[in-house]
Structure 1
């Protein structure tokens, strides 16, 4: 179980994980290109990388990848900016960083369905949260879903008593009754249910599917794709191939991810069940018909409204390498 995959602020990078399988020889007869790839050790963050290791996809595309674990997305964006990392992974709560020009998005990795607004037993509506203590991990998808839920009820954060805290503290605070409600996600909610089995789920991601999706993405620095197009394409080929394996054999992917992240397979499976994952061809279609751009535009608007964007907002067409993702599939 990961408690920080959606965390946007705080935390420290963990020590680098074991290097990925060494590559021998490059695609097209060239040499091997060494890259560093950051990830958060949960299913969303690690599953494609676990497949790439197991299936030899790095070597197949002329790459040698060294994997490094991080506790959150912004630390990876920072490392990308300083050149200490080549590629990484961020959750939806950190998407304001590409929209602020801090990174380029290589591809959507999946769409999250794990977030909820939960409340103590007896609180059976969003309107009933007025004046109540609501725990919010700021800058996360938990924060996002609380605000979306309140807006849907004609309310805002000003109508509740916001209590900012990190995700692990949300679990203990809700379980002990210190707060009335919270914005949090599975599988952490499973932990809370052990103490408060009859908690109430007031809102979930799917309630807002018509206005907001919660994509997690693979990223690189703002200048890397232009300066290293061949390597970027090679990485995208790896990711596309791994996407197809994940979509076709989720059970094996869970096992591989559990091995890479050193977690219990049952917990990883529960984590995987709260996401939607696409084949490369399915993503090609979603890119081609403008669906992905619509998702990202909605996120841009959300972050603008909430004052998260730094400087001028960068449009999705300018921070997502749509053309390279498609080209990598040819």
Structure 2
């Protein structure tokens, strides 16, 4: 009995060892591709790789134009979309359109003032960034100007073809004046700031953050604000936009779609993390954070849901129709065209809804 009892554990242990050996062999065979076993793959590695393509992008050094680059590059949104963004700085819209016409720029950020060039067929608007009231007309204290009508016969510095000029012309119209009643001098924004600070002009029509720079140099108490975009709301809304070269849109529609998908992610992140957005934009542009924060006071961001809504229900078309009326009045356009002709809404709507 005793001998019989001892032999049973020996046979049981041998069976256990055999089972373990078979199990290990099976595991080894399963992980060996050459042995005909199944292959374990990483889901990330199985995703199709998007070929990286370059987009030459025109931006302006403000929250509307530069924040998307700063965020998109830092968070990898462009890289995820297979986009290498070659960002080029501009200070106003008309030179951006010139660069698109020459093939140097593919997509650009523009303010409302340059929209007339899209109406002329020079660029398709593919997205909305914000509605703004950052365009302002300021007179110097020395000029004696207190209201719009006092601009008659005075010298005003303004970058022509910009939203600053639009606000100036609306103010003149409100006062019963015409542009020829004023000595309007075409200046770039840097020149306008310098001329104002040096009292070389009686007033300027420019936008944030350059208005903030003037305030820093002369003091708010020495600036006479005549009006801004909000002075003419709701008859006029002033959207900032993404605009694409018609040639680029025709040749690379899929890349434009990828750009709008990246911008949809940028928009979500920017609005949810505005303090970080300011910090990243300041680092990217070298514009002080306090200037960018002050700029936020004059911006109404258009989030993805709002963008899809106004592009789908025709509200955005009304915005651009009204701007065209102003462009015709100010002789920027000979006649208005259907705004739907230069709005390409599908990529943005699709990106916003994903």
Q: Is it true that 1:51 corresponds to 2:71 in the alignment?
A: yes
Gapped regions of structure 2 (runs ≥ 5): 1-43
Residue of structure 2 equivalent to 1:112: 132
Residue 152 of structure 2 corresponds to residue 152 of structure 1: no
Q: CA deviation at 1:147?
A: 0.5
Quote how far apart the aligned CAs of 1:233 are.
Answer: 1.0
Larger radius of gyration: 2
Shift in CA distance, 59/210, structure 1 to aligned 2, threshold 3 Å: same
Equivalent residue in structure 1 for 2:240, among 209, 216, 222: 216
SS at match of 1:231: helix
Query: What residue ranges of structure 1 are gaps of 5+ in the alignment?
Result: 1-23
Of 136, 157, 169, which residue of structure 1 is paired with 2:191? 169
Decide which structure has greater helix share. 2
The 1:129/1:81 distance shift into structure 2, 3 A limit, reads closer
Larger CA deviation: 108-117 vs 236-245: 108-117
Which residue among 173, 198, 205 is the counterpart of 2:229?
Answer: 205
Residue equivalent to 2:41: none
Return closer, same or farther for 1:26/1:137 CA change in 2, 3 Å cut-off: farther
2:8 equivalent in structure 1? none
Q: Which residue of 2 aligns with 1:127?
A: 149
Hey, what does 2:277 align to over in structure 1? 253
Matched residue SS, 1:184: strand
2:22 maps to none
Q: How many residues are matched?
A: 306
Runs of 4+ in 1 over 6 A off after TM superposition: 24-27
Once the two structures are TM-superposed, the CA of residue 186 in structure 1 deviates from its matched residue by 2.9
In structure 2, distance between residues paired with 1:251 and 1:44: 14
Match of 1:93 in 2: 113
- Structure 2 CA distance for aligned equivalents of residues 111 and 306 of structure 1: 21
Contact 2:325 2:336 in 1 (8 A): no
Q: For the residues of structure 2 that align with 1:177 and 1:71, how far apart are their CA atoms?
A: 22
The alignment partner of 1:190 has SS state of helix
TM-score by length of 1: 0.83
TM-score by length of 2: 0.78
Q: Name which of structure 1's ranges 109-118 and 161-170 shifts more when overlaid on structure 2.
A: 161-170
Q: C-alpha separation between the residues in 2 aligned to 1:208 and 1:307? A: 19
